[in-house]
Amino acid sequence: MIGFALTTLITALSLLIVDLVVPGVVLANFPAAIIAAIVIGFINAFVRPILSVLSLPVNFVTLGAFSLVINGLCFWLASLLVPGFAVHGLIAFLLGPVVLSLGTTFLNSYFARKGIGSSATVTSTSTLETTNK
């Protein structure tokens, strides 16, 4: 349960970064960011795999570039379901999920290095540090 809460918090913080950096992405407040993080998690878990399988031939022809469209579509779909979260324009549609992914990756690695969250990551890091000494 703590892992789900931490993942949701990290995604919500990353959404606030997206709101600041990407023009066309609008978040009304922090509770909207938390709800959007939960909805994005569910969409990525249930809708995105179906879209990825259905678009596999197009993704193959475009050498994976169509994945940006799938990510943007999932991001936009979440904005339709969450009041206080909106995605306007093509730049927000394509760039929003990329910035969200970068922010989430950075925050996940930051919390893992601080020892907050997954114990498996922390254990492997401390094993590496002991081995190098």
pLDDT category at 35 given cuts 50, 70, 90 is very high
pLDDT per position as a tens digit, 70-88: 999 999 999 999 999 999 9
pLDDT at 9: 96
- Residue 48: count of CB within 10 angstroms of its CB: 18
| Model confidence, pTM | 0.84
Find tokens 């600041």 and name the residue: 20
Residue 27 to residues 82, 84, 112, Cα–Cα distance (Å): 10, 6, 27
Give CA–CA dist 64/107, Å, rounded: 26
Give the range among 29-33, 59-63, 92-96, 114-118 with minimum mean pLDDT. Answer: 114-118
pLDDT category at 117 given cuts 50, 70, 90 is confident
pLDDT category at 116 given cuts 50, 70, 90 is confident
- The C-alpha torsion from 50 through 56 and 58 to 62, rounded to 10°, is 120
Contacts by 116-121, CB closer than 8 A, 24 or more apart:
116/6, 117/3, 117/6, 118/3
pLDDT of 21 higher than 70: yes
Average pLDDT over residues 2-26: 95
pLDDT at 126: 43
pLDDT at 118: 58
